[in-house]
């Protein structure tokens, strides 16, 4: 896994992976930078997989007849959407488990896995629905690189 760094000089920030980072700094000779290693957040592909899972779960809830209100114990029946899965299920679980408000703050795998495992277990036990998390090794018609 490559490391990600941030270099700061007079308000200018460079955030780069290791190989790109070295080349970027060479192009800016004569400037002094404070350099810090930062924890890698999820990749674009992981972000797409995360949102694909939101969509897949929304579809499964809808196909099984579980409205948002049934799952969340409300009164009016609404069909699930990707955004509802993210905002009503994923984000509250993420905040409770990891104390992180945005999905952009998630570490590459461990954070996503931790939230997914909790949500998947809860949904499987309560509603009998299991949606596997999409992986690049398992091609799916919805999964785009």
Q: Is residue 141 part of a domain?
A: no
Q: Which segment, 15-29, 67-81, 100-114, 121-135, is predicted with the most confidence on average?
A: 121-135
Q: Based on the domain organization, do 49 and 116 belong to the same domain?
A: yes
Q: Based on the domain organization, do 111 and 63 belong to the same domain?
A: yes
Q: Based on the domain organization, do 100 and 62 belong to the same domain?
A: yes
Q: Based on the domain organization, do 102 and 69 belong to the same domain?
A: yes
> What's the domain count of the chain?
2
77 or 54: which carries more pLDDT confidence?
54
Q: Based on the domain organization, do 117 and 57 belong to the same domain?
A: yes
Is a pLDDT exceeding 50 seen at residue 117? Answer: yes
- DSSP letters spanning 61-128: HHHTT--HHHHHT-SS-----HHHIIIIIIHHHHHHHH---SGGG-BTTHHHHHHHHHHHHHHHHHH-
Q: Based on the domain organization, do 20 and 56 belong to the same domain?
A: no
Q: Is residue 27 part of a domain?
A: yes
Is a pLDDT exceeding 70 seen at residue 10? Answer: no
What is the pLDDT confidence band of residue 143, given thresholds at 50, 70 and 90? very low
Question: Residue 12's domain spans which residues?
Answer: 4-38
Q: Based on the domain organization, do 31 and 50 belong to the same domain?
A: no
> Quick one: CA dihedral 109, 45, 37, 92, positive or negative?
negative
113 or 26: which carries more pLDDT confidence?
113
Q: Is residue 136 part of a domain?
A: no
Q: Based on the domain organization, do 83 and 63 belong to the same domain?
A: yes
Instruction: Take residue 116 and report the two structure tokens written for it.
Output: 């997914």
Q: Is residue 135 part of a domain?
A: no
Q: Based on the domain organization, do 94 and 57 belong to the same domain?
A: yes
Is a pLDDT exceeding 50 seen at residue 145? Answer: no
Q: Is residue 143 part of a domain?
A: no
Q: Is residue 142 part of a domain?
A: no
45 or 144: which carries more pLDDT confidence?
45
């Amino acid at each position: 896994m490559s490391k990600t760094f941030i270099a700061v000089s007079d308000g200018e920030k460079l955030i780069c992976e290791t190989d790109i980072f070295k080349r970027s700094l060479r192009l800016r000779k004569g400037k002094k930078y404070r350099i810090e290693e930062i924890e890698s957040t999820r990749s674009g592909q992981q972000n797409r997989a995360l949102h694909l899972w939101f969509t897949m779960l929304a579809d499964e809830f809808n196909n099984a007849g579980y409205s948002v209100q049934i799952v969340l114990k409300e009164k009016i029946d609404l069909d699930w959407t990707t955004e509802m899965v993210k905002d009503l299920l994923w984000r509250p679980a993420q905040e409770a488990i990891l104390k992180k408000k945005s999905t952009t703050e998630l570490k590459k795998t461990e954070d996503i896995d931790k939230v997914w495992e909790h949500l998947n277990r809860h949904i499987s036990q309560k509603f009998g629905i299991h949606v596997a998390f999409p992986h690049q090794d398992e091609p799916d018609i919805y999964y785009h690189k």
